[in-house]
Amino acid sequence: MDAVLDPRPAALPRAHGDPVLAAELRTSPEDFFVEELPGFEPSGSGEHLLLTLEKRGLNTAFVARRLAEWAGVGERGIGYAGLKDRHAVTRQRFSVHLPGREAPALETLAFESANGESLAVIDSTRHVRKLARGALAGNRFVLCLRRASGDRDAIEQRLRALAAHGVPNYFGEQRFGRDGGNLHAVLSMFAGRRVGREQRGHLLSAARSSLFNRVLASRVAAGSWNRGLDGEVWMLDGSRSVFGPEPWNDGLAERLARFDIHPSGPLWGQGEPRSEDEARRVEAEALAAAPGEALMKGLERAGLKQERRALRLRPGGLEWTWPEEDVLELRFELPPGTYATTLLAELGGIDDVAARPPG
């Protein structure tokens, strides 16, 4: 798509230099394993059955529908913390509203199809409330990159840099649809095309994410994505809480160095951005190019409010091994709302086999 419109991490500036690795991802679902990190301990009793399921080759919406049919409840009675990709092996929690009655036999929920799709029950217990979106502490990833090429010393040096300094917290390609098509769709919606309620939510999210990625890309290019500018708004690590602007001081420097706080960028909506001075100027310049104004005005008309998002992301517990000469396995954890693709983009050209166009 048009480079001006393309908000996907692979098309945006890298913070750590030129590519050092070329590889293939998701040659099979097992190459992309993701496990939700629970955000709370189950109560052990209550109206909701809390299930931990492992799925292969299935998306979250399909599993939610199967759960509703299995339990004999409406889809509104199913809860889950986040969406997980179809082309992967994933472990995630679901809740099923079953007030005053027992669940059907768990054995009748699990299945394995001839084409490799499967669903298994890992754990079950009761809980007092429906599982809410975002009710997780993060996600643990195990990614297997095959046909890996590049200088191994350079690759491992890059991985050490990512572990030590973090990566730009770009929104991932999932936000923007195949070939980034959601951004064209949202411009059409803002121009008057009618869309369904669920699609509207996805498109508003894509618009906001695109504007954020623009601001972050400008700061990556300028080398300021991981430091404060005059007028910076700071975000607490692992939180949506923000503070500032306030004058730069040794306390802020120490907190920034230990990843307690991060610079932030705008999630656009009604009202004035909280940033000031140089930080506000950088944001305004990044958003000025077409179609930034159309996206900002559309989000304001939709009633969204100004929010902030951290510009910097540090993967937790990043480790790697070489099971074979051309196979690199990565293990790491990320907080909710962040994307493994942002880390992979800093390594180089990762060909996502599952995302290739059909045929």
pLDDT of residue 357: 73
Q: Please identify every stretch of the chain with a pLDDT value under 70, giving residue numbers as ranges.
A: 1-10, 358-359
Query: Which stretch of DSSP H or E encloses residue 348?
Result: strand 348-352
* Omega cis (within 30) before 291: yes
pLDDT of residue 83: 86
Using CA atoms of 323, 332, 88, 43 in order, give the dihedral in degrees to the nearest 10.
Answer: 130
* DSSP three-state, residue 126: strand
**Beta-strand pair 118-127/48-56:** antiparallel
Domain ranges of the chain: 9-14+164-313, 40-134
pLDDT of residue 176: 86
Token output for 109 = 């929920």
pLDDT of residue 6: 64
pLDDT of residue 9: 67
The listed CATH number (3.30.2340.10, 2.30.110.10, 2.40.400.10, 3.40.50.2020) that belongs to domain 9-14+164-313:
3.30.2340.10
CA dist list (Å): 345 to 120, 168, 294, 321, 342: 32, 10, 28, 19, 5
Annotated catalytic residue within 2, 18, 31, 85: 85
pLDDT in tens, 131-153: 999 899 999 999 999 999 999 99
pLDDT of residue 3: 44
CB 206 within 8 A of CB 183: yes
pTM: 0.91
DSSP string for residues in 220-281: HHHT-TTS--TTPPEEETTSS-EE------HHHHHHHHTTSEEEEEEE--BS--S--HHHHH
Domain 40-134 fold is Pseudouridine synthase (3.30.2350)
Is 85 catalytic? The answer is: yes
pLDDT in tens, 278-308: 999 999 999 998 899 999 999 999 999 999 9
DSSP string for residues in 178-232: GGGHHHHHHHHHHTT----HHHHHHHHHHHHHHHHHHHHHHHHHHT-TTS--TTP
Token output for 147 = 């046909």
pLDDT of residue 126: 95
